[in-house]
């Protein structure tokens, strides 16, 4: 299957390139970067030396068609994908958008993002690409809204509980920490080495754009209207997310029973691992796995679910490849079974 990546010099795109190289049936035919036109990837990134990639070109629908692209990844920042999506809406290939531009309906998007939203009719055609919960819809879709990294981590932990109505949907408190790659490649004051090294910073407190994504998708899938409090932190790591969710259970189970319950819910899912030990980001970094752990505080009666994943893989490029496999009829795990980096 022939692939084009738009926004090819960003972090998510670099991860896509790495994963496509590992895939036996995906081939990169075009790399698009309006800001780095006519450059070569091995000139921009020395680790790509001796790799043969197409020269970076400006976006052209005519050229995408000429390259016989089957699958196009939009690995651009939010607000940028919109202009490309308008041009691609009548194209016959498959689009997987890694930005946030297709995840929310227009009015809600414009409330949480500082950009104009994509046309409502186009947004409604998109399938939300949380693979484990939208598998049947993804298979038949040609327009995928790849989920956000925090949203993926949180939803994979919450959805089984909400689906079975075993937690209070109004009492969901989340603390989530992310590595710096989640902020993108463009340097800002908060990602500057002097500010980020040996430091943990709270950012977008109660205003992170993944809040409406979590709430709206949870309601769509489970029928339950939920309210979440989300505190997000930048930590001095390159990659990885840990989301800690404090919840009020509505049924009585022991901690061991909760873990067994989660294991049963996800027993058929190749990339969801329910752990018996304390989670750590290194256990998922560099892989497409999401690790879940469950704790019961017998003193307060509260349940804590911890979700760990790699924001560049399961939270971005890995999930995009997982969705591409589904759409293409390949085994879902193809090209994605590598173990975490850990060291």
Q: Which residues are catalytic?
A: 149
Report which DSSP code applies to 317: I
What is the distance between the alpha carbons of residues 168 and 228, in angstroms, rounded to a whole number? Answer: 11
What is the distance between the alpha carbons of residues 276 and 144, in angstroms, rounded to a whole number? Answer: 34
- CB atoms under 10 Å from CB of 12, counted, come to 30
Report which DSSP code applies to 287: S
What is the distance between the alpha carbons of residues 77 and 98, in angstroms, rounded to a whole number? Answer: 8
Contact (CB, 8 A) for 213 and 148: yes
- Give the residue among 234, 180, 174 at the shortest CA–CA distance from 206: 174
Q: C-alpha angle 289/169/155, rounded to 5°?
A: 15
**3-state secondary structure at position 329:** coil
Torsion 235-191-340-320 (CA) sign: positive
Which residue, chain included where needed, has tokens 């399938």? 127
Burial class (CB in 10 A: 0-12, 13-18, 19+), 271: buried
The residues that bridge with 292 in the sheet, in sequence order, are 274, 307
Give the count of alpha carbons within 13 A of 243, CB side only. Answer: 29
Contact (CB, 8 A) for 214 and 151: yes
């Amino acid at each position: 299957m022939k692939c084009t990546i738009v926004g090819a010099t960003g972090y998510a795109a670099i991860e896509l390139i790495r994963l496509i190289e590992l895939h036996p049936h995906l081939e990169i035919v075009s790399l698009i970067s309006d800001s780095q036109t006519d450059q070569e990837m091995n000139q921009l990134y020395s680790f790509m030396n001796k790799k043969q990639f197409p020269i970076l070109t400006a976006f052209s629908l005519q050229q995408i068609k000429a390259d016989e692209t089957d699958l196009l990844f939009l690995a651009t920042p939010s607000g940028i994908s919109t202009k490309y999506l308008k041009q691609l809406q009548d194209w016959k290939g498959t689009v997987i958008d890694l930005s946030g531009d297709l995840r929310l309906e227009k009015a809600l998007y414009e409330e949480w993002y500082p950009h104009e939203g994509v046309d409502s009719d186009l947004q409604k055609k998109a399938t939300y690409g949380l693979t484990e919960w939208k598998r049947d819809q993804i298979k038949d879709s040609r327009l995928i809204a790849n989920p956000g990294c925090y949203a993926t981590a949180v939803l994979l932990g919450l959805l089984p509980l909400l689906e079975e109505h075993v937690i209070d949907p109004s009492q969901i408190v989340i603390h989530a920490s992310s590595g710096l790659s989640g902020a993108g490649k463009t340097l800002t004051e908060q990602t500057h080495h002097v500010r980020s090294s040996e430091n943990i910073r709270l950012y977008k407190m109660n205003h992170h754009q993944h809040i409406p994504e979590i709430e709206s998708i949870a309601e769509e899938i489970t029928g339950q209207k939920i309210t979440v409090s989300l505190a997000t932190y930048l930590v001095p790591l390159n990659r990885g997310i840990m989301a800690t969710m404090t919840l009020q259970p509505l049924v009585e189970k022991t901690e061991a029973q909760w873990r067994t319950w989660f294991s049963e819910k996800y027993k058929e899912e190749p990339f969801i691992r329910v752990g018996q030990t304390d989670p750590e980001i290194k256990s998922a970094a560099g892989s497409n796995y999401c690790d879940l752990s469950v704790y019961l505080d017998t003193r307060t009666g509260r349940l804590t679910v911890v979700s760990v994943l790699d924001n560049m893989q399961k939270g971005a490029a890995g999930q995009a490849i997982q969705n591409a496999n589904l759409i293409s009829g390949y085994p879902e795990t193809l090209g994605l079974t590598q173990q975490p980096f850990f060291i």
